[in-house]
A = this chain, B = another copy of it.
Amino acid sequence: MASDYSSTLDDLNPKVLKCAYAIRGEIVTHAQILQQDLTENPGSHPFNEILYCNIGNPHSLGQKPITFFREVLALCDHPLLLDRSETKALFSADSIERAIQILDQIPCRATGAYSHSQGIKGLRDKIASGIEARDGFPADPNDIFLTDGASPAVHMMMQLLIGSENDGILCPIPQYPLYSASITLHGGTHISYYLDEETGWALEISELENQLKTARSRGVNVKALVVINPGNPTGRVLAEANQREIVEFCRKEGLVLLADEVYQENVYAPDKQFYSFKKISRSMGFGEKDISLVSFHSASKGYYGECGKRGGYMEFTGFSPEIREQIYKLASVNLCSNISGQILASLIMSPPKVGDESYESFSAEKDAILSSLARRAKILEDAFNSLEGVTCYKAEGALYSFPRINLPDKAIKAAEEAKTAPDAFYAWRLLNATGIVVVSGSGFGQRAGTWHFRCTILPQEEKIPAIVSRFTQFHKQFMDEFRG
């Protein structure tokens, strides 16, 4: 007789047991309980709402969807609307035109059919054109794999590359924990490289070289380098010269460059700009034969923030046709990604253009969201920097602040007694006192002896002053309680 799964944890896959993913970990479960509490017993806590700053989930905090995108999605969901005269009054002319264009690319106009395993060809054409327009270099629709958000694409790459624990992937610390979780689940070795907090979370090539050398000397077969740009959780936007060094490093060392570029539309620093690693490598003269490069993108971030649609893609370049067949096979086993997500992924890469009926309202919606995010990033940065013992680098991009807290010894000791990491201890106290949910730095990795938390910049602007004041008050009380 096998295990009794109704009573034991034994006999499960040890890699699953080992895997950790803090973004939706225990603190979030606790927050959900508090929220239930608040509904059932209003006034039972010193706050009246839970503020989920743990996850980059803009619409959950009130950000509105881009109207044009939703118009197109609704028409593609219910194409019979296109036969009705009332539709012209309800939808913009260009959303109707775009929906027809998309439907005409699908056999039988069937948005309810499985598509090609890589995604609908016409949508991949649009995405490839969008990449070309962005980068100024050609992109091939056959290199595009549409996926349910970026996460399954990352898993596919880890599954392809990792055959045993001897296979290593270089990952930043701090990092978005999808990477460590995926490496653990696929049984590989996570090789950490540290971003340099003192210089605003810079990525130093010497650090990459050292970690690679050490790993190789231990016999690890290092296969790929993960770079997140703009950075999550750091908010750092890489400088072009730095990106060139990274490309050169991967080319020289024969590493696959796994580029998480999901925040490419979220750049707030006026002196910074997003460049894709594909553009950088092509502008250095490197082609398909020189570097294997995968770029992940998602409809969940940017100004659109459509997390629930699970739309995304990867651009997969510099691999042999035989390897492409293998990744195609992996995509085929899951049949295809969801068609609404596929449509949305194509829309974010081909939004309304000057002259389209929706262009002005679209631009107004987009600019309002991005400029508000930039203001919120700055307000939170200033607020965190004004707290005792807290330093916070500028969020140049992405959706997060990642402040460092110098915790008093007494707090560290109290955390030890509570059997939790000091920054997790701080985050729990914050939640219980204010209803604000953040994720402690230990969920992302950090240099030993340093403590951080990640807080999204997503609460609606009008709520930020109250949040800052609640946070400030909590922090003061916390420090008063634990200061030496």
Contact = CB atoms under 8 A, between A and B. Distances in A.
| Residue of A111, A181, A289, A338 with highest tally of chain B CB at under 10 A | A338
Contacts of A198: none
Contacts of A9: 320, 322-323, 326
In the A-B complex, the 4 residue pairs with the closest CB atoms: A74-B78, A60-B113, A59-B110, A308-B339
B108 A255 contact: no
A353 to B, nearest CB: 21
Interface of A: 1-9, 11-17, 19, 21, 23-25, 32, 55, 57-62, 65, 67, 70-71, 73-75, 77-78, 80-81, 84, 86-87, 89-90, 107-108, 110-117, 148-149, 151-152, 155, 159-163, 167, 178, 181-182, 185-186, 221-223, 252-256, 288-290, 292, 300, 305-310, 318-320, 322-323, 326, 329-330, 332-341
Contact of A2 (B115, B255, B290): B255
Nearest to A109: B59
A7 B329 contact: no
A198 B56 CA distance: 56
24 contacts: A3-B223, A3-B254, A4-B254, A5-B319, A6-B288, A6-B292, A6-B320, A12-B326, A13-B186, A32-B116, A55-B114, A59-B110, A60-B107, A60-B113, A62-B110, A73-B78, A74-B77, A112-B305, A115-B308, A148-B148, A148-B310, A148-B337, A185-B330, A185-B333
Contacts of A17: 326
B112 A308 contact: yes
B151 A335 contact: yes
Contact of A333 (B7, B19, B160, B292): B19
Most B Cβ at <10 Å: residue of A13, A23, A74, A329 = A13
Contacts of A117: 24
B24 A320 contact: no
A335 B318 contact: no
Contact of A84 (B78, B90, B186, B332): B90
Given A77-B70, A89-B86, A16 B329 contact: yes
A21 B333 CA distance: 6
Contacts of A61: 108
| Residue of A155, A254, A305 with most partner-chain B CB within 10 A | A254
Contacts of A152: 334
Given A78-B71, A330-B16, A338 B318 contact: no
Given A108-B59, A308-B114, A310-B148, A326 B2 contact: no
Given A2-B253, A307-B335, 14 more contacts: A1-B254, A2-B255, A4-B254, A6-B289, A6-B319, A7-B320, A16-B159, A19-B333, A21-B329, A61-B108, A151-B333, A309-B339, A309-B340, A338-B340
A262 to B, nearest CB: 12
A340 B343 CA distance: 13
A58 B288 CA distance: 39
A87 B19 CA distance: 47
A442 B112 CA distance: 29
